[in-house]
Amino acid sequence: MTPPSPAEAGARAGSGSLVAPPSPRRNGPGGRSGRSRGSAERALRWVVGRLAGAVLVLWAVATLIFFAVRLVPGDPAEAILGGPGSQASAEALALVREQYGLDQPLVVQYLQQLGRLVTGDLGTSWSLRADVAGLLLEQLPGTLALALASLVVAWLIALGTAWWATLGGRAASAVSSALEVVAAAVPHFWLASVLVLVFSTQLGLLPPVSTGTPVGLVLPVVTLAIPVAGFLGQVTRDSLLDAASAPFAVTARARGESTSGLFRRHLLRHAALPGLALSGWAFGSLLSGAVVVESVFARPGLGRTLLGAVTLRDVPLVTGVALASALAYVVVVALGDLAERAVDPRERAS
């Protein structure tokens, strides 16, 4: 029996046959446009969730800083007038309390500060008599450059030790594990002092204080990077060793893949995922360590500004520095999440 010709098939379909030739699928809920809309909706939900989380974090930081500074013994009005050494009169203290709203109940002061923060008004520094937003714009770039450069150096150290542990066998893995534990436990102040003693005092290779040049950035960056590299190295090394023994790695070696090619094309992507998830935490640790490092190396930045503001009980400046640090942390965590999704196809699919 010969199959019907196209004309006969059309005639049969027109004479009431229930069988119709299949039509190509149009863009609909299950087509390409539907998938695009689904991806856009997921991206929108991710952005909205991140923004809501950022607002919550900033509110929590502002609340914590407000009440923590108020719990410190002493009179804020006296701090505004220069501290206990100013010997301000009772009339001057009363005038300052009225001017800054310090005579209001604590809850009222808190709500007033939240209202100013919502409008973007960070206030005026009590100790420096300058706009807090302007001070942050001056000090923030230096601290961000220090933290980001330290994060890059920490990743380079972590990947280098992880690769060495993978190529060197059990002995190299044991040595790298011990070095990572020691590096993660080293205090910033002690490490900075040792680096200055060796590379500045004895060898004379690097300046002991920040000079505003790339050379002056070396010791602060290394001081911040080594402890973070210890944590990142531990996670990356374990992931790299697990990936090296996985079936896909064995198959790649059987096909003649070189060790360096296997590391670059296959192992690195798997090993970097846990470290990328920890990059946000690492950046927050670098920002907190900047307080010590900037003080030791006399480097201008948010760390030294925060230390002076806490000493003088400068509530607006402390709040501004804390909010700027929290915002930078939230942004870096979001970028780390995006990098993790870009590296891992499973994250993009979810």
- Report yes or no: 116 and 322 within 8 Å, Cβ to Cβ: no
pLDDT at residue number 83: 63
pLDDT at residue number 6: 46
Of the candidates 275, 291, 280, which has an alpha carbon nearest to the alpha carbon of residue 236? 275
Q: Which residue has the tokens 């192992």?
A: 267
* 143 φ/ψ sector (left φ>0, alpha ψ -120 to 50, else beta): alpha
The packing angle between helices 315-343 and 268-296, to 10°, is: 160
Q: Give the pLDDT confidence of 204-215 residue by residue, as tens digits.
A: 888 888 777 788
Please tell me whether residue 2 adopts helix, strand or coil conformation: coil
CB-based burial, 266-300: b 16+ in 10 Å, e otherwise: bbbebbbbebbebbbbbbbbbbbbbbbbbbbbebe
Of the candidates 202, 198, 221, which has an alpha carbon nearest to the alpha carbon of residue 210? 221
Q: What is the DSSP letter of 30?
A: T
Nearest 10 degrees: Cα torsion 246, 247, 249, 250: 120
Residue 82 tokens read as: 């220069």
Instruction: Give every CB contact of residue 294 below 8 A, 6+ residues apart in sequence.
Output: 143, 146, 210, 220, 300, 301, 302, 303, 304
pLDDT in tens, the chain (350 residues): 445 544 444 444 444 444 444 544 445 455 556 556 666 777 778 778 778 888 888 888 888 888 887 777 666 777 777 665 666 677 777 787 777 777 778 888 888 888 888 888 888 887 777 888 888 888 888 888 888 899 899 988 888 887 787 777 677 778 888 888 888 888 888 898 899 899 888 888 888 887 777 888 889 999 999 998 888 888 877 777 777 767 777 777 777 776 666 776 667 777 667 767 777 778 878 887 888 888 888 888 888 888 878 777 778 888 888 888 888 878 877 777 776 676 655 555 55
Which H helix or E strand runs over 302?
Answer: helix 302-311
pLDDT at residue number 35: 59
pLDDT at residue number 155: 86
* Length of the chain (residues): 350
- Report yes or no: 143 and 290 within 8 Å, Cβ to Cβ: yes
pLDDT at residue number 346: 56
pLDDT at residue number 267: 72
Distances (CA, A) of 272 to 56, 69, 240, 266: 29, 40, 8, 11
